[in-house]
Amino acid sequence: MADLSRFAINQITTRDWTLEQAVDGYARAGVAGIAVWMEYLDAAGVTQGARMIRDAGLFVPCLCTGAWVNISDKAGFNAALDENRRRLDAAAEIGAPCLVMVPGGLATGEKNLAAARSRVIGAFEELLPHARATGVKLGLEPLHPMYAADRSCLNSFAHCLDLVRSLGSADTGIVADTYHCWWDASFMSGLREAGPENILTFHLCDWLVPTRDVYHDRGMIGDGVIDFAAYKALLDEIGYDGPFEIELFSKFDWWLRDGHETVAVAVERCAPFVGARQKVAS
């Protein structure tokens, strides 16, 4: 039997399921964890959602995502900080060790990417005391460079690792995503440099050829060009014992299928890459 004790499904993978349906469907399939999205948690109610996750015996690798802070006016920026503090509280209540930060790219009408990045760093600095108080880390996820203008101005593994070091690894860490980082020649060396202590969770999703929509056409593991076995071998080598998640945005395929089919295929395809760490002989 496959070892799924470190495996979670990010619930956007079954977009049309409520939190209750996802918790039940994942648990019945033998999946050990659920990465929760804030919209579904709010719909269920944070306290009720936390209870149903606990009752199902699922672990929560992360809460997705932080509110965007790519806002140039002070009032809007402060409101975004308050919303992120609320989400940190929610993450703590459901037992999520990190809140995945997707901070946005350029503010409306802005063309200064350096200013956007500086504003994002300032937001993280403002949030650190609350993160520390809740015990929930800020999970910095490098997104593909094509997302820089709108979704996130954090676009390389090296940049995020530098931020973790400057902000402090006690309160921040890396959310590594194969879809966003596989192209980066320094991704493998970056994982090694980060070490297991700085990798909070590891997202699995394949890059299709052709990719029809860079936002919503992620491939099921095995359907694209990413070498997942190589990443698992490296993570085993450096001693990573953390969670793995499959996270699919798939408007042309998996979002159109029955959720139970998607979960069953995800378990089958991911099983070889999410098991216990294999000790590397010295």
Whether 223 is covered by a domain: the verdict is yes
Contact between 120 and 105 (Cβ < 8 Å)? no
Q: Which two tokens stand for residue 185?
A: 């020649």
Contact between 141 and 168 (Cβ < 8 Å)? no
pLDDT class for 125, splitting at 50, 70, 90? very high
Q: How far is CA 261 from CA 13, 56, 117, in A?
A: 11, 20, 40
pTM value > 0.85: yes
Whether 161 is covered by a domain: the verdict is yes
Q: Which two tokens stand for residue 177?
A: 């995503």
Q: What is the mean pLDDT of residues 179-200?
A: 98
Whether 279 is covered by a domain: the verdict is no
Domain count, the chain: 1
Whether 74 is covered by a domain: the verdict is yes
Given this model, what pLDDT does residue 282 score? 58
Whether 90 is covered by a domain: the verdict is yes
Whether 134 is covered by a domain: the verdict is yes
Given this model, what pLDDT does residue 281 score? 61
* Structural domain span for residue 216: 7-273
Given this model, what pLDDT does residue 200 score? 98
- The pLDDT of residue 40 is above 90: yes
Whether 226 is covered by a domain: the verdict is yes
Q: What is the mean pLDDT of the chain?
A: 97
| CATH assignment at residue 11 | 3.20.20.150
Three-state secondary-structure class, residue 262? helix
Whether 281 is covered by a domain: the verdict is no
